Amino acid sequence: MAAETLEFGRFYVHSYNLCLWKRVKVMRYFPQRLMGMLKLRGCNRQTAYWFPCCRSIHTWGMSFAIDVVALDRQQKIVGVYRNIQPGQFLRCPEAYSIVECEAGCQLPLEIWFGEQLRFELMTETEEELYE
């Protein structure tokens, strides 16, 4: 897979088979991770960005607030941080990976603390539907 290629998928609360985000961009490579959500002016409520092997994020240069979900190695929710404003730095020592979405996420993420999420890759056909 080329460094510029983005992977897309969905996150589900495993025990409920409930889809949290219908389009999750996997940010594996340095250029993707560096830019993250910086160029966006907002984000679709069904879209999130997943940063595997990540314990800290920043919102320097962003134009909107985000919600952050910290996951451990088993993809269990170990932290939920709401309304992180532009210009902030957040460290999540308990995290193995981080999911970012636009602030104001209507999902009751806090009640799923300790629940395992399941990530499913989208097929190319599914990805094309969102473009």
Contact 83, 68 (CB under 8 A): no
Q: What residues contact residue 121 under an 8 Å CB cut-off, 6+ apart?
A: 7, 8, 9
pTM for the model: 0.85
| Residue 22: pLDDT over 60 | yes
Per-residue b/e over 35-61, b at no fewer than 16 CB within 10 Å?
ebbeebeebeeebbbbbeebeebebee
CA distances from 85 to 5, 32, 73 (A): 29, 21, 27
- What's the token pair of residue 101? 């979405």
Contact 24, 98 (CB under 8 A): no
pLDDT band at 1 (very low <50, low <70, confident <90, very high): very low
Q: How far apart are CA 89 and CA 94, in angstroms?
A: 16
Average pLDDT value over all residues in the chain: 86
pLDDT value for 97 = 97
Q: Which of 11-15, 30-34, 58-62 has the highest mean pLDDT?
A: 11-15
